Amino acid sequence: MKKVFKTKIFKNPLDKIIIKAKKQNKTRFLLLWNRGLGDIALYLHAVVYRIREFIPNSEITFLTRQNLKEGFELLDNVRIIVAPFINRYVPVDVQNSLKLMNIDPDNFDVIIDNLDPNNWVKWQIGKLTPKLNWKSEYDDLSNNFNFPKDKILVAVSPTIETNHSFFRSWPDENFQKLFKNAHKDICFVLLGCDIKPNYLYENVLDLRGKTTFLEVLSIIKNRCQYLISLDSGIQSMFFYINQDFPIKLISLWKTKDLGILKLKVSSPNKKLRHCPLINENGLQYLEVEEVIKNVYPNDIFTTLKNLNQSKVLSFFEKFSIQGKIQFIKSLFSFDFQKLDKQEIDFKSFLKKEAVSKNFQPLEVCEKANKNDFQAGNNLFLSKNIGCIILAGGQGTRLGFDGPKGLFEINGQTLFSHLFSKILKKQKKYGKNFYVSIMTSHLNHEKIIKHFEKENFFGLKQEQVDFFRQDSYPFLDENGDWIFLNNFEILKGPDGNGNVFKNFYQSGLFEKYKIFKNIDQISVVPIDNILNDPFDEELFGFLKNNNLDVLIKCIKRDENQSKQGAICKLNGSIKIVEYLHLDPRQNYYYSNTGIYAVSLKFIEKVINQNLPKYFVLKKIDPEKDIFAYKTETFIFDNFIYSNNIKTLLDDKNNFYFPIKDKISAEKLEKILSLGNRTFV
């Protein structure tokens, strides 16, 4: 008889079960779940995470009831056994259930039949973001239903759909008042399983009881601009969908100690705007007017006024419904707190506030030696290593309409050139190397499709990941936003400054640190294909000197006047952009944009607010129309390092960035001739 672990056995059962299983080389887990839908995201994701943290090759299977099957499909790489005879609130005997389905219990090494994740995974609060995998085919499910095209669609989950915790409910009369007093442009789409109470209003489309669970999520994701929801399974699962799409969630609460609020982590959907409304005296005291104030059109008016976008507001009021929907999606794709900070920083920029000139040139820079190379060599043999490639830019200055990484030199894309080096290095060491590519909203899908087409250039798909950098609206000389095609806000990638924050929030930090045991990564630009992303000297120097940050640099010459210089400020190394350099001063070393950093350093800087820079850019290729683009720089993170150095190398060994057509043509000639001397 297979041993079944009970909650009461241990004070902290899960970790002890996992540790014992690891010692005994047991990898096959069966977990019974017959409780709530929302708990799949809130707690079971963390249970799966914990098991795989200790046993990466574990096989995890859930035994559950039929109406939870689609919810479990969103968990990454788990198996599902559905027992048609299992009903909620009815005790389940796992052994007998398996026998009734002709499944041998010996197919599993560990069976846990009484999960108590609310107590077992308290460690996740504020630390682990649940991520539910959304498949592209789910998007088509919303096409099974007809929706009005001349309305703003607001999804509503009006019931908690459980037989307990009724204090989480909002009174029926409040929903009725909401429907009666809503703006004429709104149509409410009711979703869920409970078909009562009835709401017979012209502005209500009642789909309760007419959809599957995945259809509910697809409708909210693809058709609705807002979701008003109680603390329900729909809300919890929707909140943690690991995909970016614009929507506003208005959640209703009696206390912040429940559901998604209790976990104290943001949604992995960076475009989800969350507005929690809490009344600790009881949800019955949460006024309908408070909800109406936070939904269309009142929230749009308030947001635009607070951001001093009165000009945009006047345009918005004249838009058609479809135009308003496009604008709302565009607006919700931004973090409002960041927009507020952008406005403040732009005002300072317009005032021409002085930039500190107390930078002193760095006069001495070390080179790597044989010990550094050997340390890197040993590191590559003993540890997993990672790299971030900065590839959010377009090939505009190269005369190329597409992602810069897809620009070709001698018949190969820039990505192909870099990955040929990575594949060669991987074969040398017999190890897998891990690469994360930072894209932008301009090229994310195209880059992923390119990698899929090229079969990830010989690497396993699991070795290559993608994450997006943030974007900001372009600003005119008055700080007003600019419209694209009349309805969408024109936006641009925010530079590379938030690369570590974006990497962390994407979940890749977690993958590298926990699952791949990676301690150091390099950061390299896509436009320098002569560089080796996995350079033994770079990693070895970082390790030998116990550094947080290592900056690779070259000797500065007259051709690098528009390149950042390596300086010292108050005794610390600092990269200074060429615009802020003193023209009377001589600088000795230039920044190459190539770095190595520790993951500990990344964790240290993810919450830092970096300075913003405003650069005048041409926004219309056919007309002389310019606007200000908001950018941040990666090197502004480095001021938070206590252990930072520079590493000098001969530029002929690794450095020839492609910035325009001329440099691209020159590099092609150099590579064709096999000449490695660059002028």
160 or 138, higher pLDDT: 138
Beta carbons within 10 angstroms of residue 130's beta carbon: 27
What's the rounded Cα separation, in Å, for the pair 511 and 199? 46
pTM of the model: 0.87
With a cut of 80, say whether residue 652 has pLDDT above it: yes
Instruction: Assign 560 a pLDDT band (cuts: 50, 70, 90).
Output: confident
Q: What share of the chain is helix, strand, coil (3-state, %, to 5)?
A: 40, 20, 40
The runs of H, that is alpha helices, within 28-107 are: 39, 45-54, 69-72, 94-100
**Percent residues over pLDDT 90 in the chain:** 80
Looking at residue 675, its pLDDT comes to 54
Looking at residue 8, its pLDDT comes to 44
Looking at residue 355, its pLDDT comes to 54
With a cut of 50, say whether residue 3 has pLDDT above it: no
Mean per-residue pLDDT, 174-197:
95
Residue 583 three-state SS: coil
Note the maximum CA span of the chain: 85
Instruction: Assign 678 a pLDDT band (cuts: 50, 70, 90).
Output: very low
With a cut of 90, say whether residue 160 has pLDDT above it: no
Instruction: Assign 7 a pLDDT band (cuts: 50, 70, 90).
Output: very low
Q: What is the mean pLDDT of the chain?
A: 92
Task: Write the CA distances from 432 to 88, 422, 428, integer angstroms.
Answer: 45, 10, 11
Per residue in 410-466, pLDDT (tens digit) is 999 999 999 999 999 999 999 999 999 999 999 999 999 999 999 999 999 999 999
- Taking alpha carbons only, the member of 193, 70, 50 closest to residue 122 is 50
619 or 23, higher pLDDT: 23
Per residue in 308-364, pLDDT (tens digit) is 999 999 999 999 999 999 999 999 999 888 898 898 899 888 887 555 567 899 999
What's the rounded Cα separation, in Å, for the pair 317 and 329? 16
Looking at residue 352, its pLDDT comes to 72
Per residue in 569-619, pLDDT (tens digit) is 888 899 998 878 888 889 999 999 999 999 999 999 999 999 999 999 888
- Taking alpha carbons only, the member of 366, 363, 358, 360 closest to residue 568 is 360
Question: Which of 23-32, 47-56, 351-360 is the least confident region?
Answer: 351-360
Mean per-residue pLDDT, 243-253:
96
With a cut of 90, say whether residue 673 has pLDDT above it: no
